[in-house]
A and B are shown apart, each in its own frame.
Chain A
């Protein structure tokens, strides 16, 4: 059974850097075709994809946020870390870690399952 769980700070001040950790079980990031992604959702708003890392350490970032994002993996510890710099109140959202189970070899990706998410608030 694949499970993921997010951890990190829940309250940040503007300009600070957010570092979130995704701890997962039930799969290995050494397995070809597998990935882990981050998606966020501001209160009452739609989903927004942020970043994705593949088994081969390939990385993809949201075009609008890529200058602020970094995603890394620790395969031996089954962890993925997302950092986002220069946080602002508009970055207040629930941040989800998600498993990317397939489609990669076709050039596609989708998200399943999702972690419970972590609510991050940015406020002075």
Chain B
């Protein structure tokens, strides 16, 4: 079975600074038929359900601030928050089909 491993488990970033979260898959998540990476990112603020941020590794969901971006290829992917805001304090998860990563907690 495919496994998604996120790193780090937690990180503390100053307001306005960059936060980088990694997600490594045990197998390729590239669908060669469509040349799309099946890799999704979510944000879960404390006490709330998760919220979709990015799908197909790079495509930002409508309404998501552009400080959030996805990058990567092959089996290694990254969620970047370019300038951390107070409201970005949350746990972030990557997902491929029925598998989630273990989450990365972002604090200030």
Contacts and interface: CB of A to CB of B under 8 A. Distances in A.
A109 B96 CA distance: 8
Contacts of B50: 47, 96, 111, 114
Interface of B: 1, 31, 33-34, 36, 38, 40, 42, 44, 49-52, 55-56, 61, 93, 95, 97-103
A109 B97 contact: yes
Contact of B31 (A46, A47, A60, A106): A106
Interface of A: 46-49, 52, 60, 62-63, 96, 103, 106-117
22 contacts: A52-B98, A60-B98, A62-B98, A63-B1, A96-B50, A107-B31, A107-B34, A107-B38, A108-B36, A108-B38, A108-B55, A108-B97, A109-B97, A110-B40, A110-B52, A111-B42, A111-B50, A112-B61, A113-B51, A114-B49, A114-B51, A115-B49
A93 B11 CA distance: 25
Nearest to A50: B98
Contacts of B44: 47
A113 B31 CA distance: 24
Contacts of A113: 49, 51-52
Given A106-B34, A115-B49, A47 B93 contact: yes
B56 A108 contact: yes
A46 B101 contact: yes
Shortest 4 CB-CB distances between A and B: which pairs? A112-B52, A114-B49, A110-B40, A49-B98
A73 to B, nearest CB: 18
Given A48-B100, A113-B52, 7 more contacts: A47-B44, A47-B50, A107-B31, A107-B33, A108-B31, A113-B49, A114-B50
Given A107-B31, A108-B56, A96 B38 contact: no
Contacts of A52: 98
A123 B71 CA distance: 43
Nearest to A112: B52
B44 to A, nearest CB: 8
Contacts of B36: 106, 108
Contacts of B101: 46
B72 to A, nearest CB: 16
